[in-house]
Chains A and B, each alone.
Chain A
């Protein structure tokens, strides 16, 4: 896997952390997924690989449509603003991922670059969940984590399991569907799809 693709993935992830509009965020994770599709096809050596690419593409488009549909159905009167500004978010994300890479030391997947990229994407996803309040963006944070993991699954030696890959795809779709059901209900109950409003359960 060449460095350009990896950096592209990381930059898209960083943009995801910083972005303001939900639509753009959906576009970014979809773009990441499409890069993965491209990567899977370019290195395809068996029919399994092609099926995996198909599954990834299906999930990329399927989720994109689902999210866009959600955004259109739940129009926020006032946009849900993150608690921390975009630059600080990027700062936190980058410093956390650098720290984690350092802590991991020599523990790597096949190539050090991919391994670091996976770590960075996972951290970016977690930071998105931590810092964003819009419910959809929190789901996108998890999609970001899964994109990173899909990347790692593609480069694992010994071949990734078709069964598992399709399973992960289905799982992500299932999780997104459940999340959208919640998103709708939260929007209709609270009048805004803002996870910051969900603070009545505490001790």
Chain B
């Protein structure tokens, strides 16, 4: 029954995706699709709440099968809840007159269906098929949208290339799972058996690449910003969660019990991604790219939660393992909400300002009040400020990490402690980073005149506001559903009580009280504020009229951090003084924080590969004589190999 509703909702999205191609029905089609997404969300909520499976079970056979269980249901919720505002937003963001935009809209409907299909796939071949399409469809959207730009084509290629190379891991993992009957639930692998290790390592590579974990992340900051805003929101908000979903399936469901070192590896991956992502986000100047880098950070936080869960299970701490897993799942939900909110807002900013360089944006909260305020709430949430949702999941993750370092042995305890530090650093740096964003983008002098309210901007505002409200609500009442998330873990654990997040051995947190205190405190401070304003005075009196050149710049704001981190991140800068007749006319400053993994790891490898390819291509020399010689050479080599007993 519930499975039928799932099919119905996908059918509705499918129909909506078809209607979108008709110019006259463009707007309507999006509402049809968002209705389908709403159904999808309801299905997900129902499955998670009732904890009932529906549809087919997992199988090792190569026959397309679909079904839902609570874990899939959770990801359906994430998909649906992001898709609703994204679709409403697309209706006004995309242009119904442009054929290209209509095709993009159609493809994004396909993207949503594929994402749902991958989450509900119950057999190896559909899983792999969905996995491939999940990469290909956004890539084609990027190319359709901006394919005439050579650099975008290059980004698209790098995206497809790296995820595909990494995808080899997924292929191997899924095929091994099917081969050994693990997927269908028939067999359990022994702890530490070679097959188990092969599956775990290949899925970490394959799914880690697609999730954008460092050091396999290089495609992500290129691909996500290149897509149109709604698609970026789907990519960052939903798509990169799917590999985490599979990782949870593999590590938590199918390959149990795992040796402790798997937990350590996952924790390390998470810590590196979290810190690395936020550091590069801090120094990034293009807003969408910054958001993409922050996605890497958040994937890192989620992975930390997952790793904590794995390490804790290995020590038999099932309660805390369930909490850690639920923290990761909660952060997935939260991240998808605020990240899609931020990407959608960035889309509106781009429409207004025609660019996204954060040093050249300012005062957007004045130009776009509704979107601006939503963006502000989203930024607070992503920075982990209470009483918003990001705070809850990050707090829970930190709690889990503390317990890893408490319960662990020397190795995983140490890694747990290091991860804890990394997590703390991440949260701090994220706050730093997003303060910069708020200061530069939202505040400051109004640069872009406020346009007349149209129905389009109204819809855009509503969709961002919807997500912002979700950030607040989920931040206030996490205890209501956190217990359900804990039950998703395949082992039983004690529930935490309602309204107050009551964690065993730690004490409790009441987000509602915290929220009430904070909000009233802020209100009081607001009342107590004095009414100071700076007056413009002549320059010789140390006063000056504010011009945009006197504002903070992104690089100026982050300079202290850059100086501290200099030995690691190796920033480069170039100052050129343009002189004429001994007088300095102007000074040009170019500073950059190079992405070291890209320049020190990926570029040399690809250069080397291209060199080898050039050498091998000499085989095709064009000379008939040499081709004939290959034949005799082949016979000789095979015969010699046979004589030596190799064949």
Q: Are A83 and B617 in contact (CB under 8 A)?
A: no
Q: Are A195 and B622 in contact (CB under 8 A)?
A: no
Q: Are A199 and B628 in contact (CB under 8 A)?
A: no
List the A residue with the shortest CB-CB distance to B619: A203
Q: Are A199 and B623 in contact (CB under 8 A)?
A: yes
List the A residue with the shortest CB-CB distance to B631: A126
* Contact residue among B629, B636, B639 (Cβ-Cβ distance under 8 Å from A130): B629
A132 to B624, CA, bound (A): 10
Q: A103-B639, A103-B643 are in contact. Are A96 and B624 (CB under 8 A)?
A: no
Q: Tell me, yes or no, whether A131 is within 8 Å of chain B by CB.
A: yes
For the complex formed, measure the closest distance between the CB of B51 and the CB atoms of chain A, giving whole angstroms. 59
Q: Are B625 and A131 in contact (CB under 8 A)?
A: yes
* Contact residue among B621, B624, B636 (Cβ-Cβ distance under 8 Å from A195): B624
Chain B residues 628 to 646 lying within 8 A of chain A, measured CB to CB, are: 628-629, 631-632, 635-636, 639-640, 643
Q: Are A198 and B628 in contact (CB under 8 A)?
A: no
Q: Tell me, yes or no, whether A138 is within 8 Å of chain B by CB.
A: yes
Q: Are B622 and A130 in contact (CB under 8 A)?
A: no
For the complex formed, measure the closest distance between the CB of B629 and the CB atoms of chain A, giving whole angstroms. 5
Q: Tell me, yes or no, whether B620 is within 8 Å of chain A by CB.
A: yes
For the complex formed, measure the closest distance between the CB of A202 and the CB atoms of chain B, giving whole angstroms. 3
A44 to B423, CA, bound (A): 93
Q: Are B617 and A126 in contact (CB under 8 A)?
A: no
List the A residue with the shortest CB-CB distance to B621: A202
A84 to B643, CA, bound (A): 31
List the B residue with the shortest CB-CB distance to A84: B625
Q: Tell me, yes or no, whether A46 is within 8 Å of chain B by CB.
A: no
Q: A96-B632, A99-B636, A103-B636 are in contact. Are A130 and B620 (CB under 8 A)?
A: no
Chain A residues 81 to 96 lying within 8 A of chain B, measured CB to CB, are: 83, 96
Q: Tell me, yes or no, whether A123 is within 8 Å of chain B by CB.
A: yes
Q: A123-B632, A126-B632, A130-B629 are in contact. Are A200 and B640 (CB under 8 A)?
A: no
A105 to B639, CA, bound (A): 11
Q: Are B621 and A198 in contact (CB under 8 A)?
A: no
Q: A100-B636, A103-B640 are in contact. Are A126 and B628 (CB under 8 A)?
A: yes
A202 to B629, CA, bound (A): 16
A130 to B629, CA, bound (A): 6
Q: Are A199 and B632 in contact (CB under 8 A)?
A: no
Chain A residues 153 to 192 lying within 8 A of chain B, measured CB to CB, are: none
Residues of B within 8 A of A199 (CB): 621-623
For the complex formed, measure the closest distance between the CB of A104 and the CB atoms of chain B, giving whole angstroms. 8
Residues of A within 8 A of B636 (CB): 99-100, 103
Contact with B along A119-130 (1 / 0, CB 8 A): 000010011011
A84 to B631, CA, bound (A): 19
Chain B residues 469 to 505 lying within 8 A of chain A, measured CB to CB, are: none
Q: Tell me, yes or no, whether A201 is within 8 Å of chain B by CB.
A: yes
A198 to B622, CA, bound (A): 7
Q: Are B625 and A129 in contact (CB under 8 A)?
A: yes
Q: A96-B632, A100-B636, A203-B617 are in contact. Are A130 and B643 (CB under 8 A)?
A: no
Contact with B along A63-107 (1 / 0, CB 8 A): 000000000000000000001000000000000100110011100
Q: A103-B639, A103-B640, A130-B632 are in contact. Are A202 and B625 (CB under 8 A)?
A: no
List the B residue with the shortest CB-CB distance to A131: B625
* Contact residue among B617, B624, B639 (Cβ-Cβ distance under 8 Å from A198): B624
Chain B residues 127 to 145 lying within 8 A of chain A, measured CB to CB, are: none
Q: A103-B643, A126-B632, A130-B632 are in contact. Are A202 and B622 (CB under 8 A)?
A: yes
Chain B residues 572 to 627 lying within 8 A of chain A, measured CB to CB, are: 617, 620-626
List the B residue with the shortest CB-CB distance to A125: B628
* Contact residue among B620, B635, B639, B640 (Cβ-Cβ distance under 8 Å from A202): B620
Q: Are B628 and A83 in contact (CB under 8 A)?
A: no
Q: Are B625 and A201 in contact (CB under 8 A)?
A: no
Residues of A within 8 A of B626 (CB): 130
For the complex formed, measure the closest distance between the CB of B304 and the CB atoms of chain A, giving whole angstroms. 48
Residues of A within 8 A of B629 (CB): 130
Report which residue of B622, B624, B626, B639 has the largest number of chain A beta carbons within 10 angstroms of its beta carbon. B624
A201 to B624, CA, bound (A): 11
A37 to B16, CA, bound (A): 80
For the complex formed, measure the closest distance between the CB of A59 and the CB atoms of chain B, giving whole angstroms. 23
Q: Are A129 and B617 in contact (CB under 8 A)?
A: no
A131 to B629, CA, bound (A): 9
Residues of A within 8 A of B639 (CB): 100, 103-104
Residues of B within 8 A of A129 (CB): 624-625, 628
A127 to B621, CA, bound (A): 18
A129 to B623, CA, bound (A): 11
List the B residue with the shortest CB-CB distance to A105: B643
Residues of A within 8 A of B643 (CB): 103, 105
A75 to B6, CA, bound (A): 79
Q: A99-B636, A103-B639, A103-B640 are in contact. Are A138 and B631 (CB under 8 A)?
A: no
For the complex formed, measure the closest distance between the CB of B485 and the CB atoms of chain A, giving whole angstroms. 56
A96 to B631, CA, bound (A): 13
A131 to B627, CA, bound (A): 11
A198 to B623, CA, bound (A): 7
List the B residue with the shortest CB-CB distance to A99: B636
A83 to B626, CA, bound (A): 12
Residues of B within 8 A of A202 (CB): 620-622
List the A residue with the shortest CB-CB distance to B616: A203
Residues of A within 8 A of B631 (CB): 126
Chain A residues 129 to 146 lying within 8 A of chain B, measured CB to CB, are: 129-133, 138
For the complex formed, measure the closest distance between the CB of B638 and the CB atoms of chain A, giving whole angstroms. 10
For the complex formed, measure the closest distance between the CB of A164 and the CB atoms of chain B, giving whole angstroms. 23
Residues of B within 8 A of A96 (CB): 632
Residues of A within 8 A of B640 (CB): 103
For the complex formed, measure the closest distance between the CB of B637 and the CB atoms of chain A, giving whole angstroms. 10
List the A residue with the shortest CB-CB distance to B624: A195
A129-B628, A130-B629 given; 10 more Cβ-contact pairs under 8 Å: A99-B636, A100-B636, A103-B639, A105-B643, A126-B631, A126-B632, A195-B624, A198-B622, A202-B620, A202-B621
**25 A-B residue pairings within 8 Å (CB atoms):** A99-B636, A100-B635, A100-B639, A103-B639, A103-B643, A104-B639, A126-B628, A126-B631, A129-B624, A129-B625, A130-B626, A130-B629, A131-B625, A132-B625, A133-B625, A138-B624, A195-B624, A195-B625, A198-B622, A199-B621, A199-B622, A202-B620, A202-B621, A202-B622, A203-B620
Interfacial residues, chain B to chain A (CB-CB below 8 A): 617, 620-626, 628-629, 631-632, 635-636, 639-640, 643
